[in-house]
Structure 1
């Protein structure tokens, strides 16, 4: 059983800078240290290098910095963030660190309406982007969501939805089309340390798609449901925080 408070590392989704999650960060910070990263694929200077692997490398560097300081970490991944998030945590479980006689390690990974993509596959897998995504906008290689509120924030307070939607940034198309590195959810050391928060009113990644990804992964997830759209960190931050605290307790009770 762990005695230290784990650090939550928030892995944001496409188009959403970490500032979009500030309400949740503030709420969760009363109980846990919270860190954030920014994907290279978000408003990239060079879309041709802004791959899923590039995002993974950036995230892994931040993660390794926390682990080298002896921190125990829980990754909270949202939407697209599930792909680089799991790739970054691959091979960095608490169990592996304990075997090496080291403190720290990743004690759990939580998917919040996040993609579960096998190694070598891409998010799009040869399919077209959703109709609500505008490609090559405002320039080649990046994409935007012109009308994000009905897709992401239909259940959030209107003033909050408007403020957050105005902060969205273009995202690299290549990050959706590039292959996923090996994910942590396939690591045997993460058995019992994987959780999925299903957003039951999600219009971006419908609950049926979330269910299919969970099933197709072939591994067991601790599943919790929240009656929210794609962004419960805006519409139900207190309820979401309570779920995250519960999951942290579950991960913390597990033996190494």
Structure 2
């Protein structure tokens, strides 16, 4: 696939993360020939108490994506962690096929879910945690303050995964952990309010992270199974030997997957 034919890539990032947290991945994607956009979620504005949540993040991402497609761009969306909830909640109706049917150019061509949530209408991220009987793990993994802002208590072990963290440059690891911040933890409890983006006529993909402790692979597989068996969707999947942060620990594999998916 020639670089000029690559879609514009919109990354919808996770909670606790800022765009800078993805600098290794965005750099590698740009080297591979992609134009990359990664707007910062408003729920990561560090306000205390938090003043932005899933609705604000969804409005931001929809506005950003709309500006790209209305400029005639073909857009592939890569969603990580909480970003899957935001992208799912905000991007329906912007697909290239939907826009083409109205005589409009540009549109979303690929939705790529990575270590993330792809839920049906009315479901919150916490519902998946409850479904698997893991609510007792929440206060261990995440430190919630009285204002419901929260931090990841053990980023190396939980957000990255110790065996994978030990395999990368330790200065790089320290920089990554230092890039993380406080997030509005209420977002985990907020359900989808809009038609899920995966209902569009758009190509769907899921990148499984086999060693993920934050969004365990069993969660990931159950979401894909629902979309395939209950919703009749076609989803291409790949598996990465990674924890919850393949953007850091399996960067080349993520880039290879994005190149493969967007060339189809």
Q: What's the TM-score once normalised by structure 1's chain length?
A: 0.89
Matched-pair contact (CA < 8 Å) for 2:151–2:181: yes
The structure whose residues are more often helix, as a share, is: 2
- 1:23 corresponds to which residue? 24
1:176 paired with 2:188, answer yes
Q: 1:48 to 1:17 in 2, by over 3 A?
A: closer
1:215-254 matched pairs, under 5 angstroms: 215-217=225-227, 218=230, 219-250=233-264
1:64-143 matched pairs, under 5 angstroms: 64-125=66-127, 127=130, 128=135, 130=138, 131-136=140-145, 140-143=147-150
1:208-219 matched pairs, under 5 angstroms: 208-217=218-227, 218=230, 219=233
Q: 1:96 to 1:47 in 2, by over 3 A?
A: farther
- 2:205 corresponds to which residue? 195
Alignment RMSD:
2.0
- Give, in whole Å, the separation in 1 of the partners of 2:257 and 2:58: 26
- 1:54-90 Cα offsets, whole Å, 9 max, x none, are 1100111111111111111011000110011122221
- 1:11-57 Cα offsets, whole Å, 9 max, x none, are 11110111111111111112110001111111443655422121100
- Give, in whole Å, the separation in 2 of the partners of 1:101 and 1:46: 45
Among 59, 72, 76, the alignment partner of 2:61 is 59
SS in 1 for 2:97: helix
Q: Which runs of 4+ in 1 moved over 6 A?
A: none
Q: What's the TM-score once normalised by structure 2's chain length?
A: 0.87
Q: 1:101 to 1:4 in 2, by over 3 A?
A: farther
- Give, in whole Å, the separation in 1 of the partners of 2:153 and 2:239: 28
SS in 2 for 1:223: strand
Count how many residue pairs are aligned between Structure 1 and Structure 2: 245
Unmatched 5+ stretches in structure 2: none
- 1:253 corresponds to which residue? none
